[in-house]
Structure formats: C-alpha cells, structure tokens
Amino acid sequence: MATLYGRAADNYVLWEYQKQFASDSNISFNDLDHALFQQVTIEHIFAQTPAITFPAAGFDDGDEYAASNNMVGNLTLLEHREPNLQQQADNKPPTDKARDVYPRSRIPDVQSLSQSINAHGFSKQCIDARTAAFQTFALKRWA
C-alpha cells in the first residue's frame, strides 16, 4: 500500500507532486513560494474519523475505510494558516469540503479536487486512482 502520513518529509513529497501536477495540467504554481509551503499541512480528503454509515462511497466497512485513510490518494496539502482552511475542512465530508473550503486553496491539486468532487463525488475508487497516479509520479521522479 502507498501510505503517506506521519513522516517528516510528507509535506515535501506532496509539494513535489503539486509541482508535477501543475505542470501536467498547465496550471500556474510557484513551487518556490516558501511562505505558502510553510502554510500547508496534510489534508485527509475523507476525514480520519468516518462520518458515514457503511457500506458507503465504495467502502464495505470501517476497517476498509481505515485501511484507505492514510493512502496517498486520500491525502493532499491544504493551508492551515492565513487562512486556516484545514480547520474549516476538519471532519467534513468531501462534498462539503469541495463546495465550501477547497475552492479557496492555492494548491493546484486541491483546486482540481474541488471541481472533480463537485462534478463526480469522491469514493474509495478515487483514492485508488489517485494513489496509482501518485505512484507513477514517484517512480518517474525518484527512481
């Protein structure tokens, strides 16, 4: 599994992914913006504490949800200072985050997530697809 949470380098690894994501998507992103880098932290798209009744969103039960929670496909970066979008997103379902919080982020992946979730929702299958895309990026970037 491609888990990515709880290590000191997680923000850096996801920042590197933002650079590639922005480039691939023709989105303007200043990866040298140190102030923005200092404002971000790891965001769980599906909250660490489930707010759904199973089965739902492609999860059969709480164990399956927990197993997917720290997979890189369920993670992105989000500002936690000036403004504190992380606090505003805390424990909300992905659809609420996409509608109310993610559109205000300066992080390319979060902006794209907002549009995608608003159009199609978010599920375990989305986590799996995002994880596979990240693994492809990581192999190209660091192999």
Three-class SS of residue 105? coil
Residue 3: pLDDT over 80: no
With cut-offs at 50, 70 and 90, classify the pLDDT of residue 1: very low
Chain segment 116-132, per-residue pLDDT in tens: 999 999 999 999 999 99
Chain segment 48-98, per-residue pLDDT in tens: 988 889 999 999 999 999 999 999 999 999 999 888 999 999 999 999 999
Of 5 and 36, the structure prediction assigns the larger pLDDT to 36
Give the global pTM. Answer: 0.91
Instruction: Give the mean pLDDT of the chain.
Output: 92
Cα(100)–Cα(92) distance, rounded to whole angstroms?
A: 10
Three-class SS of residue 76? strand
Q: Computed from CA positions of residues 38, 1, 17, 12, in that sequence, does the dihedral angle turn out positive or negative?
A: positive
